[in-house]
Chains A and B, each alone.
Chain A
Amino acid sequence: MDHILKIKNLSKSFGDKSVLNNLSINIERNKSQVIIGGSGTGKSVLLKCILGLIEPDNGEIYFNELILDKKSRADTDFHSKIGMLFQGAALFDSLNVQENITFGIKKIGEKTDNLKDIAVDKLRKVGLDSTVLDLYPSELSGGMQKRVALARAIARTPEILFFDEPTTGLDPIMADIINDLINEVIEEVGATAITITHDMESARKIADKISMLYEGNVIWTGDAKDINDSQNPYVDQFINGKSEGPIKINLND
């Protein structure tokens, strides 16, 4: 099987609190992989370990069979091969839409007209037009911010797209629109997608494969269509949103 990303025995603790615990997962190329799990189970920490924003305590991550560490991320310009949509969009407040979208592709000597064309093209892919180019993030609605952030994430035609809770905080209709958009964009860019979410509706809609995270580990992986008969009591409890079941919620967390 062709795996674009392999994660082996990843562990991460904060103080004496273990968040990821010997976690292993392989991501298939050109598939949409969704990782589900309750709040605070370490989904974002896992993503940040892959992106190099958090240093794991143990374990290895391989990208195209190449081990990822601080040095190899810099040497291979790993970040130019990925795009990340942050939970709160994370647009740069001090820059307008065009500057946000072209931030990663701005090269010395690149003409401004050129950058504008690129920005308009990316905006079109996320269903916006050139009227927003000069607006600042604070002038955009939440849904529009997500779209612009998505345009920024695909600006460098990445091999892998990461989505951190893409539908959290949006109303159900906007969430569905963003789900559709994610599917379109994955199709068009031809990238592998890794999405973390606790929104099951979103997971069902965008996933080829689903994995479930619990207590720092992957406890189930399978095709999205098989999730309803996983035979796994944890998965069943989570996807049906039941308070009764094997999943322990630590309210003191």
Chain B
Amino acid sequence: MNRYIYIIPEAIGRSFLRICASIGSIAVFFYDFVLCLITPPIYIKSLLSQLVRIGYNSLPVIGLTAFFTGGVLALQIYVGGSRFNAENIVASIVALGITRELGPVIAGLMLAGRVSASISAEIATMRVTEQIDALVTLSTNPMKYLVVPRVLAAVISLPILVIIADIIGIMGGFVVGTKSLGFIEQSYIKNTLDIIELRDVMSGLIKAAVFGFIVAFMGCYHGYKSTGGAQGVGRSTTLAVVSASILILASNYILTSLVFTN
């Protein structure tokens, strides 16, 4: 009977210890990463191929999601705006919403699905097939050869992808606004350009760089720590996508509330 009293506190204690352990292990992994980042060699060829894989190959996905997001934003704001007789606000809110918030967040989340998953599956497979051990026996630091190029490539790519997403998203709003909501093209463009300031775009790009780091770092971390064969590969992929998505949304809130409130 007495035993049962402890079940809940034990479960809480165990999860707490597990969370502490993973925070510690991520911190150690991050420390190693920074050391490898600042010491030569840098594998330029890997970096370039990861830029293509992470950045260039993500263009269609990011472009499509941005276009539809901009479009639906225009529709919804029109509905909301018309209740206050303020339909004219559509262009401005689409522009601000996309550049400050939705561009980086949607691009980050899409990349979490696309890139975190593939990075972690790839590195986890290399772990369970002993390819990572093989790198070490061939005098190559796996952190430098695998992790640094992927993280750098994502940190460089995501801001560029977000600029493109911003443009396509605003275009999506423009197409919906002018074709189905009846706005005049010139005034829609003018409203957009009048409202956007450099700091709106910049805040989105800084967020994008942070999200790029999260996406690649979580993919690499969970892949690197993978154990337990094929099932382990699947588990680490899930963990990578889930943790990257949550961290993106959490850090987005923190960045917005602490730094980008004006």
* A90–B129 touching, CB < 8 Å: yes
**Residues of B contacting A93 with CB < 8 Å?**
125-126, 131
* A88–B130 touching, CB < 8 Å: yes
A52: shortest Cβ distance to chain B, in Å?
Answer: 7
- A53 contacts the other chain (Cβ, under 8 Å)? yes
* B131–A79 touching, CB < 8 Å: no
* A84–B134 touching, CB < 8 Å: yes
Given contacts A88-B130, A93-B131, contact A52 B139 (CB under 8 A): no
* A77–B134 touching, CB < 8 Å: no
* B130–A87 touching, CB < 8 Å: yes
Report the count of interface residues on B (CB-CB < 8 A). Answer: 12
* A103–B137 touching, CB < 8 Å: no
Q: Give bound CA distance, A82 to B136, whole Å.
A: 11
The 8 A CB mask of A31-67 against B (1 = contact, 0 = none) is 0000000000000000010011100000000000000
Given contacts A79-B138, A104-B138, A104-B139, contact A53 B129 (CB under 8 A): no
* A103–B138 touching, CB < 8 Å: yes
The 8 A CB mask of B130-174 against A (1 = contact, 0 = none) is 110110111110000000000000000000000000000000000
**Residues of A contacting B130 with CB < 8 Å?**
86-88, 90
* B139–A84 touching, CB < 8 Å: no
**Residues of A contacting B131 with CB < 8 Å?**
90-93
* B133–A86 touching, CB < 8 Å: yes
Given contacts A88-B129, A90-B129, contact A51 B134 (CB under 8 A): no
A54: shortest Cβ distance to chain B, in Å?
Answer: 10
**Residues of A contacting B126 with CB < 8 Å?**
92-93
Chain B facing A: main interface SS: helix
Which of B133, B134, B140 lies at the interface centre, i.e. has the most chain A CB atoms within 10 A of its CB?
Answer: B134
Q: Give bound CA distance, A86 to B126, whole Å.
A: 13
Q: Which positions 188-239 of chain B face chain A at CB distance < 8 Å?
A: none
- A80 contacts the other chain (Cβ, under 8 Å)? yes
Q: Give bound CA distance, A27 to B71, whole Å.
A: 71
* B140–A52 touching, CB < 8 Å: no
Q: Give bound CA distance, A79 to B142, whole Å.
A: 14
Q: Which positions 80-104 of chain A face chain B at CB distance < 8 Å?
A: 80, 82-84, 86-88, 90-93, 103-104
* A52–B136 touching, CB < 8 Å: yes
**Residues of B contacting A90 with CB < 8 Å?**
129-131, 133-134
- Among A52, A80, A82, A86, the residue within 8 A (CB) of B134 is A86
**Residues of A contacting B129 with CB < 8 Å?**
88, 90
**Residues of A contacting B133 with CB < 8 Å?**
48, 51, 53, 84, 86, 90
B189: shortest Cβ distance to chain A, in Å?
Answer: 46
* A79–B134 touching, CB < 8 Å: no
Q: Give bound CA distance, A93 to B139, whole Å.
A: 18
Given contacts A90-B130, A92-B131, contact A84 B137 (CB under 8 A): yes
What is the interface of chain A, defined by CB distance below 8 A to chain B? Answer: 48, 51-53, 77, 79-80, 82-84, 86-88, 90-93, 103-104, 152
17 CB contacts below 8 A, A to B, read A48-B133, A51-B133, A53-B133, A53-B136, A53-B137, A79-B137, A84-B137, A86-B130, A86-B134, A88-B129, A88-B130, A90-B133, A91-B131, A91-B134, A93-B125, A104-B138, A104-B140
6 interchain residue pairs of minimum CB distance: A104-B138, A90-B134, A90-B130, A84-B137, A79-B139, A86-B130
Instruction: Known pairs A77-B139, A86-B133, A86-B134; list 8 more (Cβ under 8 Å).
Output: A53-B137, A80-B139, A83-B137, A90-B131, A90-B133, A91-B131, A93-B131, A104-B138
